[in-house]
Structure formats: structure tokens, C-alpha cells
A and B are shown apart, each in its own frame.
Chain A
Amino acid sequence: MPEQSQDEQSLAEINKSLYREGMTDGLPVIPPTEERVDEMLRGTDKSPDHIVGRLGNNENPLTIERLAANAVMAGCMPTYMPVLEAGVRALADPNSNSIQFSVSTGSWAYQWIVNGPVREKLGIESGSGAFGPSFHANQTIARALGMAYRNTAKIYPGEKDMGVMGNPAKFSMLAGENEEASPWEPYHVTHGYDEDESTISLAGPNSWVQWFPSQNTGEHVLRGMIENTPTSMRANSGEDLNVTITHAINPYNAEELEKEGLSKDEIKQYIVENSYYKTNEYVRSFGDDEKVPPRQVQQYGDVDAVKIATIGGPGRVNAIFGSSIGGPVTKKIEFPDNWESLLEEYSIEENWVPTEGFYE
């Protein structure tokens, strides 16, 4: 066995120690040394003791410094701090229902959709493979927010986080919306923000299904959005529990829908009016034995329970995320004064496709 340097030994010991204290997601982390945390704090104008949000049962405070420590552990760059701060504000918003979906047996994941110019500035992927591995910002921002929630709220699997199966996407489900390839207004504009603002949106689905239409026509896409939604996914907006389903439509199929002259609102209306599940799946609730079961039940209670975003790259595969019992909530990302110079300092150029440029 080769000899380890002091730094390597220290790295291993610190990782072991942080794992033992329940501070990690089980994967190796970068130790949050004071020096690294100080560097991370370059990404914010706020003081280290500024409370970004209060999380969990007892509304434990998450300060900028502690958020930066989680960001270091997750592998973030200082330029990601503005996105992380907005993400924490989303988690702390009572409408996110993070206090419930973080601990529920349903193993709900934190699903993040980023909109606006920040996507390009930070390299947040919205095209091919956006929800998958490989993209530094997508992966590390989601990871940092997941660990920050757990470490602040102090919830652990089998203790307060009672997710039966767990969810491999819990700390990694983040993508940008492919606004440039979308025929519709961006997701954040639909939810009240200006197009040139940058936002992060949080929802809490526990599953997703990928599907493709039998033909590339608007009608087939529309039918596919209904037929491929499992009947176990049901949605109904409401004050006590806001349950939603998000349809991520690839740019090609979004274009097919737009060619039919369908707006996002019209698509939602069609889905609500035409989505039902069979009565033989109807589950009687306690005390309604006397009622005659309906022949069919609406899968979506209302139009607000349907969300649509254009995500992904070339191809005709779409995705359905649901049911979400968290949010959705959207928060504006605010940038520090030194934002532009930080971007120059911390940019990463991807140079990983060997054949790119071969034909030029």
C-alpha cells in the first residue's frame, strides 16, 4: 500500500469524522476548513452571521457561514453562493412544505429548476442530460442545498427522515429550463418574475417517468402527457397540501405543441379535463362506506396542479415528475457587487468532447 501524505491522511480522517457526525450525504466531501469557507464567502455580500433561513421543526437558523461550509463540502464554487442563498430561502418558505416532505415515508426529493441569465453564467445545464450527472453546478448546488437542509434541521434516515425507500435524486435533482429552445414564456415568468431575472424553484416529487410520443405531433404529445402519467400520481392544489405534477417537455415536442397553437395554459386545461383513473383503484376512506364509489376520478383537481417547463436536449423523450407535495416556490437570485469579477475568476471551461470542432 503506497504511503499517504499528511494531507491525504487528514482528508480521510476528516471525512470519517464528518460522516460519523452525520454531516455528509455518505459520499466523500471537501473538508470545510476556515480557509475554504472564507473563500466561499467571497460569493456573498452578506455577513457570515446573517441568517439566510430557518429550517426544520424548531426553525434552526442557517447562517451564511454554515451555508458556505456545506457549499465547500459539496464542492461548490463561490459563484454558486447566490443560487444557494435563494435555494435556502425557498426551503425556509412555509409554502415549500419542506418540513413535511423532507421526513415523509414517501422519500420525496428536492427538485430544483433554475431560470434566467444565471444559467449561462454558471454553466447550469438545461439541455442534453440536464438532470443527470456530469454538470458541476447542477450537481454541487443540489448537493449543497440537500446537506445544508439536513445539517440545519438535523434529520437523519430512520430517525426523523422516515423515507421508506430513500431517493437517489434527493440531493441531486437540478436542471435549468431550456428557455432558449422553448416556444413558451419561461417557467419563472409564468410564476411572476421578469424574464431577465434569475430564479430557482423548488418542488418535492418522489418519482419521475420518462416517455416519448408515438408520433411527433402536438396531438400525440398531448395524449402522451396524459397516458404516461401513472395513476399513482395525482395532483390537487390547496392550502393545506399543494400537490402538483410537473411535465418537463423536450424542445422538439414543445415546438410540436406550439405549432398546434397551444399555450401552456391550454395544455394544462386539456390535461385536467382529460385525465382520469379507474374506479377499481378507488380507495374508500374510513367512514364513507355508505357512498356509492364514482365510476372514474379526476387525476388533477385543477389547472394550478399542473406545471410545465421546457427541459432537455435533442430527441423526443419527455419526463413527468410527481406527485410533488412540496412548493412549488420560486425565489429570485440576488448577486453580490463583485459578481462579474468572480465569474471570471471561477469559470470552468468544459473541454471533454474529443471530437468537438473536428470538422471546423
Chain B
Amino acid sequence: MGLVTPGSDTGNVDQKPLVPRVDTLAGKTIGLYDNGKPAAEPLLTAVQEKLEDRYPDATFSWYHVEHLNQIKNDDEQEAVVEWAEGVDTAIGAIGDCGSCTKFLAWGVELIEDAGTPGVGLIDEGFELDYQSNAIERGRPLRYKKTPVRCETTDLDRIREEVSEDVMDGIEDELTRQLNDKERAEPVAQ
């Protein structure tokens, strides 16, 4: 009995390599990409404070998506790429819900499109969501799970939760050299 598949055939996306990482954050311009979720700005603020302590000679450049959904617009996407071209490396936040994790992956993908290595910060419950959206966009984008629960906007609480261990992890994602899979030339998934 022949069946007609009810699903689309276009699930497999060719994967592009990630942009090579920077070797150190010292003296670099670090981009902070706020995807428009309320919890993104305070989380990135806490991360910036801790990076400033570690690297006093680093500089920071922010990009704010005013509303989460604006990343769907061509103008916004072009603006993200243009901004990302002006930074050495970038951290994006936040993946803490279904649509914002998707749109964070879109944002980090645009940062990589600009030739800048990027890392997304996510609530640990949204790991598979981030991975699936990244693969679907065409890159095994890097990310760091944080213990900051979704929708948390209390800056003092976030400062406590973004521990030195968490910062070590973020720094590792920003500087650890690419593995074979991440360096791969375009291949079918």
C-alpha cells in the first residue's frame, strides 16, 4: 500500500562553517546583541560588567532589536549584519522562550554572516530548541547555557547567577578554536 508523505521534503539544510573564533578578548570590540526580549538587556549588562573586570581594554558595542519580531524584517537583518561587521566578536541574548530562541538563532546567524564569530546565551531548557533552529538556519551556532531562568529581569539576581564559572564558559565559546564539524566545508546534513 503506497503512502503519500504528509511532511515536507526540505528538512535537510546544507551546513556552513562557523567563523573562526578570536584567540583572546583582550583589546577586542565585543558586540552585545539584544534580541528584544526583556531579559536580554539585563543579562548582557551583567556579562559586560564581568568582561570589563576581566578585560579593561576591551570595548563594547550594543545592538538592540526594539521588538523581538522585527528580526523577521529585511531592513533589520541588514542592520544587524552592518553592525556585526564592526565588532570583533559578539554575544547574543536571550533564548528563553520558543520564539525568542528561534529569533536569537536568526540573530547569531546574521552575526556569523557578517564574518564575526557569535555565541548565543540561552536558558538551559531551550538547548534543543536553539540547536534545531541553528541547524535549520544552516550553521551549528555556538551557545552557552546560563542558570538565569527565563524572563528574569532583576539585574542584581542576574549578577549573582552569572558566576565566574558561567563567564569562563562564555569566554570559552568565544575563543575556543573550531572543531572539525564546525570548520566543515558545506556538506549535506
Query: Does chain B have a CB within 8 A of A160?
Result: yes
Are A162 and B126 interface neighbours, CB within 8 A?
A: yes
Query: Does chain B have a CB within 8 A of A34?
Result: yes
Q: Whole-angstrom distance from the CB of A22 to the nearest CB of chain B?
A: 8
Query: Does chain B have a CB within 8 A of A163?
Result: yes
From B3, B11, B13, B137, A31 is in contact (CB under 8 Å) with B3
Please give me the residue from chain B that is nearest to A32 by CB atom. Answer: B4
Query: Does chain B have a CB within 8 A of A68?
Result: yes
Are A160 and B98 interface neighbours, CB within 8 A?
A: yes
Are A57 and B102 interface neighbours, CB within 8 A?
A: yes
Q: Mark B86-126, 1 if CB is under 8 A from A, else 0.
A: 00000000000111011000000000000000000000001
Residues of B close to A103: CB separation below 8 A: 98-99, 102, 129
Are A57 and B137 interface neighbours, CB within 8 A?
A: yes
Are B38 and A286 interface neighbours, CB within 8 A?
A: yes
Residues of B close to A151: CB separation below 8 A: 6-8
Query: Does chain A have a CB within 8 A of B128?
Result: yes
Given the known inter-chain contacts A57-B137, A103-B99, A162-B97, please indicate yes or no for A241 contacting B5, CB distance below 8 A. no
Query: Does chain A have a CB within 8 A of B136?
Result: yes
Please give me the residue from chain A that is nearest to B152 by CB atom. Answer: A286
Q: Residues of B within 8 Å of A, CB-based: how many?
A: 36
Residues of B close to A70: CB separation below 8 A: 6
Query: Does chain A have a CB within 8 A of B69?
Result: yes
Query: Does chain A have a CB within 8 A of B179?
Result: no
Q: Mark A123-163, 1 if CB is under 8 A from B, else 0.
A: 00000000000000000000000011001111000111111
The complex places the Cα of A154 from the Cα of B136 at a distance, in Å, of: 10
The complex places the Cα of A240 from the Cα of B97 at a distance, in Å, of: 17
Are B132 and A286 interface neighbours, CB within 8 A?
A: no
Q: Residues of A within 8 Å of B, CB-based: how many?
A: 47
Residues of A close to B126: CB separation below 8 A: 162
Are A147 and B6 interface neighbours, CB within 8 A?
A: yes
Question: In chain A, residues 70-105, which have Cβ atoms closer than 8 Å to a Cβ of chain B?
Answer: 70, 72-73, 94, 97, 99-101, 103-105
Please give me the residue from chain A that is nearest to B7 by CB atom. Answer: A151
The complex places the Cα of A152 from the Cα of B11 at a distance, in Å, of: 9
Residues of A close to B176: CB separation below 8 A: none
Query: Does chain A have a CB within 8 A of B70?
Result: yes
Residues of B close to A3: CB separation below 8 A: none
Are A159 and B128 interface neighbours, CB within 8 A?
A: yes
Are A100 and B3 interface neighbours, CB within 8 A?
A: no
Q: Whole-angstrom distance from the CB of B92 to the nearest CB of chain A?
A: 17
Interface core residue of B4, B5, B133 (most chain A CB under 10 Å)? B4
Residues of B close to A179: CB separation below 8 A: none
Are A73 and B128 interface neighbours, CB within 8 A?
A: no
Are A10 and B1 interface neighbours, CB within 8 A?
A: yes
Given the known inter-chain contacts A100-B69, A160-B133, please indicate yes or no for A61 contacting B8, CB distance below 8 A. yes
Residues of B close to A105: CB separation below 8 A: 97-98, 150
Please give me the residue from chain B that is nearest to A97 by CB atom. Answer: B69
The complex places the Cα of A7 from the Cα of B93 at a distance, in Å, of: 53
Query: Does chain A have a CB within 8 A of B54?
Result: no
Are B102 and A240 interface neighbours, CB within 8 A?
A: no
Residues of A close to B41: CB separation below 8 A: 286-287
Query: Does chain A have a CB within 8 A of B59?
Result: no
From B6, B42, B70, B150, A286 is in contact (CB under 8 Å) with B42
Residues of B close to A152: CB separation below 8 A: 7-8
Question: In chain A, residues 28-69, which have Cβ atoms closer than 8 Å to a Cβ of chain B?
Answer: 31-34, 37, 57-58, 60-62, 65-66, 68-69
Q: Mark B50-94, 1 if CB is under 8 A from A, else 0.
A: 000000000000000011111010000000000000000000000
Interface core residue of A69, A153, A154, A240 (most chain B CB under 10 Å)? A240
The complex places the Cα of A32 from the Cα of B132 at a distance, in Å, of: 28
From B6, B38, B42, B137, A32 is in contact (CB under 8 Å) with B6
From A14, A99, A286, B3 is in contact (CB under 8 Å) with A14
Query: Does chain A have a CB within 8 A of B153?
Result: yes
The complex places the Cα of A190 from the Cα of B121 at a distance, in Å, of: 44
Query: Does chain A have a CB within 8 A of B155?
Result: yes
Sample of 10 A–B contacts (CB below 8 Å):
A32-B6, A33-B1, A57-B136, A69-B6, A99-B72, A154-B11, A160-B98, A240-B68, A286-B39, A286-B155
What 7 A-B pairs are tightest by C-beta distance, nearest first?
A: A162-B98, A103-B98, A60-B8, A240-B67, A69-B6, A69-B4, A151-B7
Give A residues with C-beta under 8 Å from B.
10, 14, 18, 21, 23, 31-34, 37, 57-58, 60-62, 65-66, 68-70, 72-73, 94, 97, 99-101, 103-105, 147-148, 151-154, 158-163, 240-241, 285-287
